Amino acid sequence: MKPFLLISRSAEYETRLRSLLGSRLAVVPGEFLMLGPQTVVERVHHQPRIALLGPVLNFEETRGLVGELTQRYPEIGLIVVREQRTDLEDWVDDLPLHAVLSPHAADSTTTELLDRLSGWLVSNGRAVPEDFEEPPASEVGEVIAALVHGSPDAEPLNEADQVEAGSESQPFEWEFPPLESGVPSEAIGVVAPKGGQGKTTIAVNLATGLAEVAPNSVVLVDADLQFGDITAALNLTPERTIVDAVADSAQDELVLKTALTHHSDGFFVVASAPSPELGDAVASDALGHLIERLRETFRYVVVDTTPGLGDHTLAVVEHVTDAVFVSNMSVASLRAMRTEFQLLTTLGLMPSNRHFVLNQVDKMSGLTVKDSEALVGAPVDVAVPKSSAVLLASNRGIPLIHDDVRDPAARAVRSVVMRIAPEAYPKRTKIQRRWRSNGTE
């Protein structure tokens, strides 16, 4: 009996869920979605009672799966595993989901949600306790019914009820719309304790990929205030810089926009300071304020940073929803990353969504990805191979994911983008057009 089904593109999440559910979990890798949702569901050999969809599935894929699963198993419980995003409301409005679970939720939270949804299915005659091979949680009923979308008796829970439904000591890490107010957009900081790890490379490509799903609603801030090099990496000649943007951030949107430089791939750049002294003079709280101000206007704010955890980078970390941590495979960098994780956690400054990118992965380094994980004490979310295409793209002033789409590093970097916006899946026409325009085919 395998009452739980996971369809996801994250091997790490699969491992975690397996450790929680053991043989009660069936898994179909999200890669099969290339063959369509029907093929994926055909690979399910036991009747699932609860399906977990995600992480890293886009809206269309999730909708296709929900359609197939509910047609075959009308009584199934559906959970989307996805970080809280501002578009989550649309997902829940359009899909008959029962809950949304953060991929970073603690194991206890995940188990609690699964227990409660199993209990709800049983209490509504959609399943029997034996389906789950253990008794359902005792306190099923009104609260979970109210949490379940589309339940005939469901009344939307107010915030106080939701808090009451969780354990007192631990806030809920699974979310149910409506979204918290005051989350106008997402801000993503790209950070590393040491220099030269690939922050700028990741930041530039994140902005490029996000601009595909939110054209002209992405801004890339070069907050490497002394030695920022984003405009060089993108072949841009800025007229104004972060020094002007910080000064203008107190003024209205139109004035602030004049401090930005537009890139033809559909995003804006806040260029680094014209000299290290001027960069150093930017106050860290003014940088934090600038990020907040940009979040009022842009869907995504991507921030490249100075190595280490100086005041400016701490200000960035405090004002972002996501942090992408980048390290190469040197023991010193990995140890420094471990310290950075511990420090941010101790200070309570770890952003809600953490992504750990292991960059320049190379068999010749003498370390494996597993060794790197052990040194950092955290799983690698994306491993980006070492590739000469990275330097080539940077020297050409073209973002890697558009310069050489088939390069393994470019594909890996795109999967970093897809962690923030799963809908940034490469479109075939785009791939072919870009490929040909490079003259390499």
Ligand X SMILES: Nc1ncnc2c1ncn2[C@@H]1O[C@H](COP(=O)(O)OP(=O)(O)OP(=O)(O)O)[C@@H](O)[C@H]1O
Site residues (CB under 6 A) for ligand X?
192, 195-201, 224, 307, 359-360, 384, 386-387, 390-391, 394, 409
Nearer to ligand X, 121 or 416 (CB): 416
Which parts of this chain interact with Mg ion (CB under 5 A)? Answer: 199-200
Show the tokens assigned to 222. Answer: 């070069």
Nearer to ligand X, 12 or 229 (CB): 229
Q: How near is the Cβ of 393 to ligand X at its closest, in Å?
A: 8
Q: How near is the Cβ of 235 to ligand X at its closest, in Å?
A: 15
Show the tokens assigned to 383. Answer: 């491993």
Show the tokens assigned to 15. Answer: 């491992």
End-to-end CA gap in the chain: 50
Q: Which does 156 bind (CB under 5 to 8 A by kind): ligand X, Mg ion, none?
A: none
For residue 337, the one-letter residue type is: M
Instruction: Tell me the DSSP string of 88-144.
Output: HHHHHHHS--SEEE-TT--HHHHHHHHHHHHHHHHHTTSS-GGGGTSPPPSS-SHHH
Nearer to Mg ion, 332 or 369 (CB): 332
Q: Which does 197 bind (CB under 5 to 8 A by kind): ligand X, Mg ion, none?
A: ligand X
Nearer to ligand X, 62 or 359 (CB): 359
Q: How near is the Cβ of 359 to ligand X at its closest, in Å?
A: 5
Query: CB neighbours of 305 closer than 8 A, spacing ≥ 6?
Result: 189, 190, 191, 192, 199, 223, 224, 312, 313, 316
Nearer to Mg ion, 272 or 415 (CB): 272
80: left (phi over 0), alpha (psi -120 to 50) or beta: beta
Nearer to ligand X, 79 or 203 (CB): 203
Q: How near is the Cβ of 361 to ligand X at its closest, in Å?
A: 8
Q: How near is the Cβ of 362 to ligand X at its closest, in Å?
A: 8
Q: How near is the Cβ of 39 to ligand X at its closest, in Å?
A: 33
Nearer to ligand X, 98 or 199 (CB): 199
78-95 as b/e: b if 16+ CB within 10 A: bbbbbbbbeebeebbeeb
Question: What phi, psi does 382 have (nearest 5°)?
Answer: -140, 130
Q: Give the angle subtended at the CA of 84 by the CAs of 313 and 379, to the nearest 5°.
A: 60
Nearer to ligand X, 245 or 384 (CB): 384
Q: How near is the Cβ of 388 to ligand X at its closest, in Å?
A: 7
How far is Cα 438 from Cα 441, in angstroms, rounded to an integer? 8
Q: In what order do the strands lie in the sheet with 50-53?
A: 25-29, 4-8, 50-53, 77-81, 99-101, 174-175
Query: CB neighbours of 256 closer than 8 A, spacing ≥ 6?
Result: 245, 248, 249, 293, 294, 297
Q: How near is the Cβ of 307 to ligand X at its closest, in Å?
A: 4
DSSP 2: -
DSSP 179: P
